[in-house]
């Protein structure tokens, strides 16, 4: 693949830097796309502008990308219907009535348990965990940024460790292309070396147990505690706004639980049918797209049949929810387009070439991890990072005698870092959307924790390389 050398780094650096500086993600990412296309077009800005638009349309036309984009818009309808039906408030009331609600010592372990229980697919884990926990966090005045950090880290990092899902199948396919004799054995043996994912999951547990708050998260927590009560005597932020204009709508847990069960069930069924009976080979993007459509249809029929809403009312609510997330859909289109431009420029390949310099063997695991972190942060994709780095790391392991499992773990750990921290990662965008946090605010509050985990992981990879 043709690479543009150092120039290939400019678009992602420009986009991320401008976003962190101006706190405006949409124009920043488009600026990065435009810069990248200008490099490809050898300085012809006029041609680069229209090529940027054409690339965005081409990216949307990709089946997987379109499913992701539609899911991010449709899920707004699902969330809005449950909110207006007082499902979130009903869930809180039921939790309190059953005396399960005992503050953070109940909610935090429940968040962790739900996060690691849905290990088949990361998006559904974030969606379900965020939907369940958001009203409880609001009740306890825990910041939405902390919720976003928890659900994002738990979903991505645990899913990356589990073999029996689509991630595991992807690892097997990449290792098979490198003619690794027993890919599954290599993957299983890599789990103890997957330092970033393991440390991140441990850090979440520590934060939950101690309340450790650092960096911008401290301001977010303080703002959440000091927020003025806008929701009446219960202090909840999730009561229906519809009923104030129309009629009283009873708060019932079933208004949230039944649609959520349909959502979860359809995700599993979608993975089953797209994988021809094998959940691990199913398409995550197709499964969550099916789930969003089916759960919305079920919710409409469910609430109309119960006469909670008239048909026209629930359609208005549904479209209102979709409309509220159109900016997220646009953001995702731009993020995917920037990733495509980086691929054309060979950004990942150029960074990977840096690994091939003459360096001591014991440094290789740490360097592979570091380069993988940079690639995943710059491109916003863990899968793309795996595709670039694993074909480089595994042959290096065979030549140097370093454990293939250790090198695989370095690639996975580095790829997941970007998925956790990059503002152009679809996981970052989705976690912010589910938690109702601006993407850039989610990045700013989560990245200190991600950097702590990355620093510990880098040290461990270095020590493991020395000891090996």
57-62 contacts: CB < 8 A, separation 24 or more? 58/340, 59/333, 59/336, 59/337, 59/340, 60/333
d(CA 280, CA 466): 35
d(CA 22, CA 447): 17
DSSP class of residue 142?
A: -
H or E element that contains 48: helix 45-61
d(CA 36, CA 127): 33
Query: What is the C-alpha radius of gyration for the chain, rounded to an integer number of angstroms?
Result: 22
Contact partners, residue 238, CB within 8 Å, separation at least 6? 83, 88, 89, 92, 134, 135, 138, 231
d(CA 6, CA 378): 13
pLDDT at residue 241, rounded to an integer: 58
d(CA 42, CA 377): 26
Nearest partner of 163 among 263, 279, 267, 284, judged by Cα:
279
**Domain residue ranges of the chain, discontinuous segments joined by +:** 64-163+218-226+242-324
Helices (H), 275-381: 284-305, 311-324, 326-345, 347-353, 364-379
In the chain, which stretches have pLDDT less than 70? 1-3, 20, 23, 95-96, 98-103, 120-121, 164-166, 169, 177, 227-247, 280, 284, 348, 351-352, 354-358
pLDDT at residue 164, rounded to an integer: 63
- State the burial class of residue 299 (Cβ atoms within 10 Å of its Cβ: 0-12, 13-18, 19+): buried
Per-residue pLDDT tens digits for 346-377: 876 776 676 565 577 788 899 989 988 988 88
d(CA 332, CA 227): 30
């Amino acid at each position: 693949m043709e690479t543009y050398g150092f120039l290939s780094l400019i678009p992602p650096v420009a986009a991320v830097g401008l976003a962190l500086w101006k706190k405006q993600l949409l124009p920043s990412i488009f600026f990065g796309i435009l810069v990248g296309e200008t490099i490809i077009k050898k300085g012809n800005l006029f041609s680069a502008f229209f090529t940027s638009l054409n690339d965005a349309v081409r990216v949307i036309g990709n089946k997987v990308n379109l499913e992701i984009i539609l899911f991010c818009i449709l899920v707004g309808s699902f969330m809005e219907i449950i909110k207006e039906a007082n499902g979130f408030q009903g869930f809180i009331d039921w939790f309190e009535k059953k005396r399960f609600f005992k503050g953070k010592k109940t909610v935090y372990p429940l968040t962790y348990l739900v996060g690691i229980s849905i290990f088949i697919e990361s998006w559904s884990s974030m969606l379900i965990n965020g939907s369940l926990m958001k009203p409880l966090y609001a009740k306890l005045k825990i910041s939405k940024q902390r919720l976003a950090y928890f659900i994002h880290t738990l979903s991505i990092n645990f899913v990356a460790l589990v073999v029996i899902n689509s991630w595991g199948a992807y690892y097997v396919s990449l290792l098979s292309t490198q003619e690794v004799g027993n890919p599954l054995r290599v993957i299983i043996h890599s789990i103890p070396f997957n330092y970033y994912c393991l440390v991140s999951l441990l850090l979440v547990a520590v934060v939950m147990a101690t309340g450790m708050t650092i960096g911008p998260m401290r301001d977010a927590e303080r703002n959440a505690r000091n927020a003025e009560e806008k929701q009446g005597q219960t202090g909840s932020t999730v009561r229906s706004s519809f009923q104030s204009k129309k009629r009283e709508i009873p708060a019932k847990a079933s208004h949230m639980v039944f649609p959520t069960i349909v959502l979860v069930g359809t995700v599993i069924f979608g993975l089953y049918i797209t994988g021809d009976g094998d959940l691990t080979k199913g398409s995550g993007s197709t499964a969550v797209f099916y789930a969003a459509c089916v759960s919305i249809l079920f919710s409409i029929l469910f609430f109309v049949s119960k006469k909670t809403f008239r048909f026209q009312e629930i359609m208005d609510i549904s479209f209102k929810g979709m409309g509220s997330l159109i900016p997220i859909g646009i953001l995702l289109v731009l993020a995917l387009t920037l990733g495509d431009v980086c691929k054309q420029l060979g950004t990942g390949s150029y960074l990977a070439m840096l690994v091939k310099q003459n360096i001591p063997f014991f440094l290789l695991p740490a360097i592979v991890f570091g380069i993988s972190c940079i690639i995943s942060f710059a491109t916003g994709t863990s899968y793309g990072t795996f595709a670039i780095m694993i074909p480089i790391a595994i042959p290096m392991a065979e030549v140097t005698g370093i454990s293939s499992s250790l090198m695989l773990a370095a690639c996975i750990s580095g790829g997941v870092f970007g998925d956790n921290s990059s503002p152009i990662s679809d996981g970052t965008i989705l976690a912010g959307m589910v938690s109702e946090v601006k993407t850039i605010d989610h990045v700013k509050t989560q990245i200190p924790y991600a950097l702590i985990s990355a620093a510990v992981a880098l040290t461990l990879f270095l020590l493991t390389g020395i000891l090996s």
